A and B are shown apart, each in its own frame.
Chain A
Amino acid sequence: MPMLDIKNLTLEIDNGTSRVKALDKVDLTVNSGEIRALVGESGSGKSLIVSAISGALPPQFHITADRMSWNGESLLSMSTEQRREIMRRDIAVVFQNPITAMDPSATLGEQLEESIPDELVKGKWFWQRRQSRRKSAISTVHKVGIKHHRHYLNAYPHQIPTDIGQKFMIAMALISQPKLLIADDPTRGMETTTKTQVLKLLTRLNQTRSLSILFISHDLLAISSMAHTMTVLYCGQSVESGRMKMLRKRPLHPYTKALLDSAPSFRKDLPPKSILPNMDGIIPSLKHVPIGCRLGPRCPRAQKDCVITPAVRRIHDHTYSCHFPLHMEKL
């Protein structure tokens, strides 16, 4: 049974006069011990899914789902208190922009220590507990690859470089020993060596502690090296989802193919000085979403039927929603 199971998640934004579907029937599952990648262009609603899972949505967002459950318990029907407990103990989130996601008036150490759930703190008296908190903060900070803990634990968010901030966000997520880590673009703005460090750290945690990771990014190279499964999102619709290997070998959805083709490192057959293939047009804004399959206007294979939203089809554990999928003649 999947740990996190989301079926037909729809997120509507009230903009006064009408409702816009920012997410349209998105399916997403994360199994225990798996690294699932969630890819899509900017504006495809990746971060909205994160906020929907963590329950940090503004009141004008309306969320409906056929199923949104954590280990079999429905996240939507449980009380705020239960939801809070799950977020505190089981799910941890690494946000996109580390510097704004940290309180500017508190030191990093304080913020790190307050993320520790009570049962992980040893000792009976408050000074023992404080020492225990400090200890686990320092060891977590070392674990994510920050050496000068004394300096950084007493620093304020505006005093640190972005990559250290990102590592701190990861430390803050890991210190509560969660079962699922939702990493919203954790390597954004990092240079390659730091990025590799962070990715290695996440992979190691996945292997040693069997931590499930929902890895959200548009860095296909990073994803392909670590993720087991991948879900592709386009303009609030999940277009294709399946095992990484399958998707790379035989993408069924035209968008997945375009996405993979646009990354030159995946193309061994690319002749020198040739033009990199890309899909024409840009992702539509939420004010002007096309009806039916939202890829329609940009899709090279679009036909008349594409004005009807395609149903989700499934071949083994590979799901896609397209009327005219690629590579079907071979199957």
Chain B
Amino acid sequence: MIRILSRYIILFVLTLLVLAAMSFSLAYLFPGDVLTNLTGITAQNDIQRNALIKQFRLDSGYLVQFGYYLNELFAGNWGYSFISGLPLRDEIGLALPATIELASYAMLLAIVIGIPVGCYAGLRSYTPADYGINSASMVGYSFPVFWLALLFILVFSLELNIVPLSGRISLLFDIPDKTGFILLDILLADNIDRSLAFKDALQHLLLPTLAISTITTASMIRLTRRSVIDVLNRPYIAAARSRGLSRWQIFFRHILRNALLPILPLMAIQITTLITNAMIVETLFSWPGIGNWLIQAIYQRDYPALRVGMLAVASMVITLTILIDLFNRLIDPSREKYERATV
């Protein structure tokens, strides 16, 4: 157990180190002054410039610079934005939870809908019901997410006018930022009508969540269906049938667990797609998340913001992937004890 854990921790640390190295090298790769790219501060005169060079060890070798860079990352000094001049850590601290919130609701929806529907289609494989579900999920899977989001806006916001167009919550509510997750913040906030604010936030959440989760749900249905069909053809299901177990007993004791175990690592792969989609959808709905923030940074050539933003998103994806793989390892009895950890 400790060996497995330590393997995963080593893998995690090494991957993060490589990511940090890449993010550091971006300061050199981006056009413009290295010092400005690294700090986000444009030096006004030579004295300030020399002081900054000294502080960031730019007069020493690359390794020393990288060491100082890592040190600063851990200390929470991630540099300043060109545009707003604010510390990047605070900006990301606001934007990243918003994206995580959106993505996790979409994932939750995909799991709650996708797995039962996929199981149903798998159990009824090659019947009209299965064909219907399968083609619906194929259609859902083929929608480009940006087009779907625009369509939702057009139909539900502009034509039917039942949900708000953009943003996270109506400006009428003043929600103090505590956790970064809007629904939690509303529950923690004082002096507002919580149920009204909650309803408003849910209305804002509805369209972006639906737009992201359509694709994830569709792929979840397809994965589950395939896996259930595979398990149904295994000899142990025939053996369980010949032992006279009822259909429900077979499903819950033998099919479900064996079908879900191989899906879990595939879900980890879905997370990347999910977050990418979330970033696209955020831009369309003006959701104040990391995707929207990064797009703004790209438009404004905010190199320090791009450098740190990329590191933050990549670290989040790596963390989730490794955590899911570790979880899968812990619950799957058939996986080798000394199999190597992978991302």
Contact = CB atoms under 8 A, between A and B. Distances in A.
B84 interface: no
Nearest to B333: A156
Contact of B241 (A55, A102, A107, A114): A55
Given A97-B235, A156-B333, A158-B334, A92 B257 contact: no
B244 A106 contact: no
Contact of A92 (B243, B249, B258): B243
Given A114-B249, A158-B334, A56 B243 contact: no
Contacts of A87: 241-244
B155 interface: no
Nearest to A169: B239
Given A84-B246, A105-B332, A56 B253 contact: no
A300 interface: no
Interface of B is mostly: helix
Contacts of A55: 241-242
Interface in A108-124: 110, 114-115
Contact of B253 (A93, A100, A114, A176): A114
B261 interface: yes
A176 B245 CA distance: 12
Contacts of A107: 333
Interface in B244-259: 244-246, 249, 253-254, 257-258
Contacts of A264: none
Contact of A95 (B235, B246, B261): B235
Taking each of A54, A105, A158, which has the highest tally of chain B beta carbons within 10 Å of its own beta carbon? Answer: A105
A101 B334 contact: no
Interface in B263-308: none
A189 interface: no
Interface in A144-173: 156, 158, 172
B243 A88 contact: yes
A86 interface: yes
Interface string B179-190: 000000000000
Contacts of A84: 244-246
B333 A104 contact: yes
A156 B257 CA distance: 14
Taking each of A55, A86, A101, A102, which has the highest tally of chain B beta carbons within 10 Å of its own beta carbon? Answer: A101
Nearest to A89: B244
Nearest to B246: A84
B238 interface: yes
5 contacts: A55-B242, A56-B241, A97-B235, A106-B253, A158-B334
Interface of B: 234-236, 238-246, 249, 253-254, 257-258, 261, 332-334
